[in-house]
Chain A
Amino acid sequence: MAHDAISSRTGNTETVRIATSESRLARYGLIGVALCFVALFLVLPLAAVFTEAMRNGPGEFATVLADPETFAAIKLTLLVAVIAVPLNLVFGIAAAWAIAKFEFKGKAFLTTLIDLPFSVSPVISGLVFVLLFGSHSLLGPWLQSHGIQILFAVPGIVLATVFVTFPFVARELIPLMQEQGTSDEEAALSLGASGWQTFWYVTLPNIKWGLLYGVLLCNARAMGEFGAVSVVSGHIRGLTNTMPLQVEILYNEYNFVAAFAVATLLALLALVTLVLKSVLEMKYSEQIAASRRH
């Protein structure tokens, strides 16, 4: 809308210009730069992944995905996400609730702690678990004697994924809940609602869109995490390889079509996530707007 107004004006007389608009050259120049950037760094690589995967036709694409090891990797990735995302959903809501609605000592410290997985390299996140559960660690011998396998097995991969994806839900919810304040909850309590009813009927509906967005991001990262998982997985084929690890292995074996086929699946996941989010936002735009303002 603003665009039309600007162009119709500049079309008549170049001298009469809205104070907040720039010259035609600057406008198209800036837009061009932005488009080039998006094309070069987002669209082109994505397109390359898809074309590479389809190089030998869709038949080959299907065959490589049906490979047992690849199939196991897909299953493992889904399993990890199914465990990690609900855990972080609960942790995230609890942490955001505590930080946004209550005053307590050490709140700033807790907020910083939640950001830790973002600020630390994922490789280090993985190493933390190796130090904790490895055979030379304090817990290692005890775990071994009880026959509990954490490293180089599914529990380790889940733990590393939970750690790395911990901030997504909480980070999304904290500013939203802080902005909404506590008076809605107080109103519910004053009307006789119990704590649980207040959470279920008032708090949760108020944050559901932020929560959904946080979960989508959390899920995308849980499925795509490489660094931390790589350290704790042990790369056992068909057993502890997730999709990103499988892509690397296939690539290193010069099995390009298979590598790109799995990569395509991962990329599709990202696209589906974004499309899903956009569709929901469009469908419920009114409700979302209402939950942001008073």
Chain B
Amino acid sequence: MEVRVQNIRKEFSRFPALNDVSLDIRSGELIALLGPSGSGKTTLLRLIAGLESPTDGTVYFGNEDASRKTVQQRNIGFVFQHYALFRHMTVLDNVSFGLTIRPASRRPAKAEIRKRALELLDLVQLTGLEKRYPAQLSGGQRQRVALARAMAVEPNVLLLDEPFGALDAQVRKELRRWLREIHDRTGHTTVFVTHDQDEALELADRVVVMSKGKIEQIGTPDEIYDTPNSPFVFGFIGQSNILPVKVENGQLVLDGQPIGVSAQGEKDGPAQLYFRPHDIELLDGASGISGTVTVTRRVAGTRHVELDVSAAKSKVEIELPPEKVTSDHSRLSFRPTRWKLFRETA
């Protein structure tokens, strides 16, 4: 189901957690809320769920105003970071819970509930574990039970709060791929919260980058990575370098020296140059940005080189192919091939 969040504001004892946030979630979409802790992403998720109520603004499920509805009436599926499985119930009872507590008029027959729960356990690949208790499962298995439990009520929207946050790296990766598969098979509209950019970029159809209670950017993973629209997004997603430059007659100038990058159409004046370590090309001679190598590290298939750019009194990191061997204190010149300018005042 389509979910629309309109001009939501949320204050916790006068401290604003969300400030005028609007977001359209398309039906069947897998969307990630990404941001550092304190950015308001979990608050937004809980507002959609109805576990918190907004100070101002509206949440629509389809064309219906869901803001006045209770969490029970919204019919959502919520998955918690620490699973929140009912520890005194078996896996099967956990998954059936949402159906068994329904009033008799809407409750499927016992055999039907059992059948559906078993089907879901099959979907999350836990067949055979239905008689276990949560304490007898691994973290990854518990989170899969939690997902099956949330899906059992056929929710309008599936909301996941840092679903892999408590798991170790290996299991995280596995579950990530698996969640994508489940999503593609079931087609539930899904919103998940994460502070892990790899998770968001790898998994989601669209990523919502949040900071300090506001949405910074909404876009596909490619858009977010390739064309960040604010210094925050540029700095938060992936690696980035920042150099203070000046724009003079459509040319970028660092400490009085043009660096061989043209910026046609940009106004003259000081600016911050943002570029990624791998979006560069090496130059011969003294043109471009030059610096002294301070540290080199080999990380898997790339060589990371830290340069001391004396003209800017700052350090930058660039990535080179591993064949390119650099010695400490040698000088290198380079030029960013893909970059973005941000002004102080903007």
Contacts and interface: CB of A to CB of B under 8 A. Distances in A.
B82 interface: yes
Contact of A190 (B51, B133, B135): B51
A184 to B, nearest CB: 5
Given A183-B84, A186-B51, A287-B88, A192 B134 contact: no
B78 A290 contact: no
A202 B149 CA distance: 15
A289 B82 CA distance: 17
A192 B87 contact: no
A191 interface: yes
Contacts of B76: 190
Contacts of A293: 135
A194 B80 CA distance: 19
A202 B153 CA distance: 18
B21 interface: no
A183 to B, nearest CB: 4
A29 B134 CA distance: 44
B258 interface: no
B101 A197 contact: yes
Interface residues on B, range: 20 to 34
B83 A190 contact: no
A193 interface: yes
A188 B85 CA distance: 9
B133 A194 contact: no
Contacts of A27: none
Given A183-B80, A197-B101, A201-B101, A190 B49 contact: yes
A191 B70 CA distance: 12
Given A197-B101, A201-B101, A290-B134, A189 B88 contact: no
A192 B80 contact: no
B82 A183 contact: yes
Given A201-B101, A290-B135, A191 B88 contact: no
B86 interface: yes
B84 A187 contact: yes
A205 B84 CA distance: 14
Given A191-B97, A191-B149, A192-B98, A186 B84 contact: yes
Contact of B78 (A186, A193, A194, A201): A186
A184 B150 CA distance: 13
A291 interface: yes
B77 to A, nearest CB: 7
B51 A191 contact: no
A77 interface: no
Given A186-B80, A290-B133, A193 B101 contact: yes
B75 interface: yes
A290 B87 contact: yes
Contact of A189 (B72, B135, B146): B72
Contact of A290 (B72, B88, B97): B88
A146 interface: no
B72 A193 contact: yes
A294 interface: yes
A88 interface: no
Nearest to B51: A186
A165 interface: no
Contacts of B97: 188, 191, 193, 201
Interface string B54-82: 00000000000000000110011110101
